[in-house]
Amino acid sequence: MKERFCLMDAGLWINAPYLAFLGDNRDIDLMIAPDYGARNMFETLTLARDYAADVKKPFPEIDDKILKERDWPKDCYVFEGKEKEPTIVYMPLFNRRNCKDAEEVKAKMDQFSTFQFPYNKEKIESLLETVNANVKNNKGTLLKEINKVGHRREKK
């Protein structure tokens, strides 16, 4: 019997690289996961969580209660890994910090849909400014989580 090895582009299913980091040999402590996709907010995250559970790979606990926030998410969520699970810092592109309400989040998601390329220079610059602001706004959280996983790694 021949052994088969199959690969799938993450964009066809989850559209995020979570799966590539779940292998036993990866030894990942932290994933910084900006969600800039066209799907429902948290969908890639919950699909990855469910897949990890199915194949018995470590993944942090993610309470489905956050799904209530999908239309107007916070700008940063931390799903902390305990032992073998990686910590995930999840950062929605459009969020409560840069949109006044859920309607504006939806309008921005539609305006910057991943299915309407090519973007003109103004759209690209606007998108880059939003991404840059998201990272700057959450710099403290990012540094704190990097530090925490560093200490966790030292204890291994």
Predicted TM-score (pTM) of the model is: 0.85
CB atoms within 10 A of CB 8: 9
Domain boundaries, the chain: 16-147
CB 136 within 8 A of CB 101: no
- State the chain's mean pLDDT as an integer: 86
**DSSP state for residue 43 in the 8-state scheme:** H
Return the structure tokens found at 131: 């991404």
- Report pLDDT digits (tens) over 58-100: 899 999 999 999 999 999 999 999 888 899 999 999 999 999 9
CB 72 within 8 A of CB 98: no
* pLDDT above 50 (res 22): yes
Give pLDDT, residue 8: 47
Q: What is the chain's length?
A: 156
Give pLDDT, residue 71: 94
